[in-house]
Amino acid sequence: MLIGELAERAGTSTRALRYYETHGLLRAGRSANGYRVYDDAELRVVREIRTLLAVGFGLDDIKPFVACLRAGHPSGDVCPDSVAVLRRKIAEVDAGIDRMREVRDRLRAQLTIAIESRETTCSSRTC
């Protein structure tokens, strides 16, 4: 299929497909007139790329998933390298959640102090 058809079927742009190709994620052949021609299997690859991008993966993180699909697996997340990336990303998310909890706790403490200060200050005058 041509790049326009792949883009339409995958719900993305031709520009994005070219970008994925330059990063080694997509494989395109060339027709006699030089047009990019994609195998039907590339649609599954593009869908995998878009799914992983949507949850915050970078293109380098996506490469093992694509390699897993190309190795003939029905899913890109069953190979050891993909599992390693998933574990690392979960650890990153957990660390981010921990940081956000710390920020929330500091903000709550600051709010409590502000409310108590306001109540003390406002009890002696109109606020």
CATH number, domain of 37, equals 1.10.1660.10
The tens-digit pLDDT sequence of the chain (127 residues) is 999 999 999 999 999 999 999 999 999 999 999 999 999 999 999 999 999 999 999 999 999 999 999 999 999 999 999 999 999 999 999 999 999 999 999 999 999 999 988 877 776 666 6
Q: What gap in Å lies between CA 1 and CA 58, rounded to an integer? A: 26
Alpha-carbon distances, residue 10 vs 6, 27, 44, 56, 67 (angstroms): 6, 15, 8, 19, 19
- 81 with 75: CB under 8 angstroms? no
pTM greater than 0.85: no
The domain tally of the chain equals 1
- 48 with 63: CB under 8 angstroms? no
Residue 122, pLDDT score: 72
How distant is the alpha carbon of residue 54 from its chain centre?
4
For 4, the enclosing helix (H) or strand (E) is helix 3-10
Q: Determine the structural domain holding residue 8 and report its residue range.
A: 3-124
Residue 123, pLDDT score: 67
Residue 127, pLDDT score: 62
Number of other CB atoms surrounding residue 42 within 10 Å: 25
- 25 with 67: CB under 8 angstroms? no
Nearest to 7 by CA among 51, 38, 53: 38
